[in-house]
Amino acid sequence: MKYNKTLKGITLIELVIALALSAIISAIMFSFYMPHQKALAETEKRSQLQMDAQNLMQYFSKSALEASKITTLNGISGEAELNSYTGNHTVSNIIFSVNDINGTSQYTYKYVLDGRSLKYTDSKVTDKVIANDINSIDIKPLNGQTVGKCSGISIIVELISDDNRITYKVMDNLYFRNET
């Protein structure tokens, strides 16, 4: 019996070596890929926090530009009570009032922190969620005034990712343009 030495093929040893080399190369590539995936996920979370912060600050700015004053802060209303509030305050709910030239309230902008979501209500919208993942909202009357008599507020909003690893703070000074 004659053997044909011109037959070509892959031996079992060659196949095992090829599989081992491809496994090593795949492991090396995977080790470079995973950290970039983690960084991408963190960047996406930070970007979402920034978009939420921008959205809620637009709402606060619009309300302050049209408002005459704060009429309710954390359930406290009334001129005498609000005139005793100075310094920093962590907000759970706040109402901005838009008054006419006689000082009569025409309409209000209401913000309520419900868990980690901020809900907005005005004459057209009820309980619209405008931002999620809020850790805290702090306000301080400008120029050392009380909440009831201030012409504006300094606001600091801190947002935190759902896994509590990434925080994002935004702050602004808001002035009431329609003071009475």
Q: For residue range 132-157, what is the model confidence (pLDDT) as tens digits?
A: 899 999 999 998 888 888 889 999 99
Average pLDDT over every residue of 151-174: 93
Average pLDDT over every residue of 22-49: 88
Assigned token pair, 78: 């009334």
Look at 6 and 173; give whichever has higher pLDDT.
173
Contact status, residue 175 vs residue 151, Cβ threshold 8 Å:
yes
What are the domain boundaries of the chain? Answer: 39-175
Confidence of residue 179 (pLDDT cuts 50, 70, 90): low
pLDDT at 5 > cutoff 80: no
Share of the chain above pLDDT 90, in %: 49
The alpha-helical segments, DSSP class H, found in the chain are 12-66, 79-82
pLDDT digits 0-9 by tens, 38-62:
888 899 999 999 999 999 999 999 9
pLDDT at 17 > cutoff 60: yes
- pTM value is 0.76
Confidence of residue 7 (pLDDT cuts 50, 70, 90): low
Q: What is the mean pLDDT of the chain?
A: 88
Assigned token pair, 26: 């795949």
Partners of 156 in the β-ladder: 138, 171
> In the chain, what is the straight-line distance between the N-terminal and C-terminal CA atoms, in Å?
113
Q: How far apart are CA 163 and CA 160, in angstroms?
A: 8
Q: Kindly report the number of other CB atoms within 10 A of residue 168's CB atom.
A: 19
Share of the chain above pLDDT 70, in %: 94
Assigned token pair, 37: 């995936």
